[in-house]
Amino acid sequence: MSNPFNFMNRRGFLKASLLSILASSPIGKAMSAVPVTSKIVGAPTPNSFTSAVSATSAARAYIEYGYSKSAITGKTSVISIPKGSTRNISVTNLKPGSLVYYRVKYALGLSQNFSSLPQRSVQTANVDALSTATFAIQADPHMDENSSAEVYEGTLKQIVAASPAFLMDLGDIFMVDKLPSKTEANIRGRFELMKGYYQKLGSVPLKICLGNHDGELGYSNFNTKNYRKEYFPEQTGELAYYSFTGPDQLHVVLDPFTYTMKNPTPAGWEWTLGKTQYDWLVETLKNSKEKHKFIYIHHLLVGDPTSRGGVEIAMKNEWGGKNNDGTDGFETYRPGWGKPIHQLLLDHKVGFVFKGHDHLYVKQELDGIIYQTLPQPSHPGNKINVNQYGYTSGIGVGGSGFLKVSTSGNQAKVDFILYDGQIGHTYTRDAV
């Protein structure tokens, strides 16, 4: 009598062999090719999550979702995904602390028939997961020859003591494009250095806004996004622009670098979000019901490659719509887009634009919107020269540190906390 276990092993081996042959055949490869894939990017908030949807062919996609496997309670808008591209789809207005079942639906080309990816689930955060309505912002840590490890460690210590829901870093973190020798070892050294500093944050979540020295300029062949993805996977989605919500807060992170494909000239119109990011910004602001709206960007989309300054330049180029001579240029250089970015922010009652780049604390206001430029968290000096980069108005304060921002009711409060714990400046703004 033959051994049944040996018989089953032989049968299993034969089955596996047949499957292997099929998988390697043209038919098998066609069967296994999935034209659309998706993955969650970032951490779900109490009210939302975001899925990055990638397509190998031109497609349209949306997400349907609900709180049980069999009941759909909502659908997102349909978005277009160019061939070989990735687009983020955000599901908003969800219940905190809930298990949400969702399914990505897609149609290829001009087809009106939507196929489905497998149903998945995601857990939204509890409201207290963004422990308070307090968050922290820093900009331009650099950690180069002009930085102090002692000062930066002091700033990070003060950030942890503030117990923020998250730390937003406004860029110029990795500084890889300034490396005199861009070897594998040197690039990795920069990412490892900064990862070591961020580990001092403990349980404070880190969020990243790209800077011009972070190795992801659209007009440069040098790109280190894969290293960022390796060392900072939670902070690196397919797209470098994104949004999330907090307690009655909308946070919008913009990417002025990836889609700027030409080295900017003094005319300034080369700087761009790109039409896709611009349209996403319009939809994000239009759909927001949050009272407090915050924009994060390394520097404004204005001027030559240095792009220095605050409200004095905010009415130019893609950001403000004017040419350098004061004439209107938006419709000429951005035909069919609609409105300059500053006007969009004004229309949708954005309260703050937080930016870095100039290594100064300068609080300014334009049409009721606070334009807040941040100092470095790591510079050993406390001198300030606001005229250096053309700031002619506002409040300038010397020193290194971070911003602690809190919201309560209609009011947002901003504290400039120095690396040694002293308060450099404080102000409030009431939401419109």
Give me the DSSP letters along 389-420.
GT--SSEEE-S-EEEEEEEETTEEEEEEEETT
Strand-pair category, 99-108 with 361-366: unpaired
Tokens of 342: 């500053």
- DSSP structure class, residue 128: G
Angle at 158 between CA 157 and CA 161, to 5 degrees: 90
Task: Check residue 13 and give its pLDDT.
Answer: 46
- DSSP structure class, residue 95: P
Detail the DSSP E strand segments found in 67-199.
74-75, 79-81, 85-91, 99-108, 115-116, 120-123, 134-138, 167-169
pLDDT in tens, 389-424: 999 999 999 999 999 999 999 999 999 999 999 999
Average pLDDT value over all residues in the chain: 91
7: helix, strand or coil: helix
Counting DSSP H helices and E strands in the chain, the numbers are 9, 22
Assess whether pLDDT exceeds 50 at residue 19.
Answer: no
Q: Determine contact, residues 155/378, Cβ cutoff 8 Å.
A: yes
CA 413 → CA 357, 370, 407, 409, distances in Å?
Answer: 23, 12, 6, 11
Strand-pair category, 36-41 with 59-66: unpaired
pLDDT in tens, 33-76: 689 999 998 778 778 888 999 999 999 999 999 999 999 999 99
pTM: 0.72
183 vs 126, more confident: 183
Domains and CATH numbers, the chain: 34-127 (2.60.40.10), 131-430 (3.60.21.10)
- List the one residue out of 42, 65, 45 whose CA is nearest residue 124: 45
pLDDT in tens, 357-378: 999 999 999 999 999 999 999 9
**Taking residues 88-113, what's their average pLDDT?**
93
- Residues contacting residue 1 through CB under 8 Å, at least 6 positions apart: none
Task: Check residue 34 and give its pLDDT.
Answer: 81
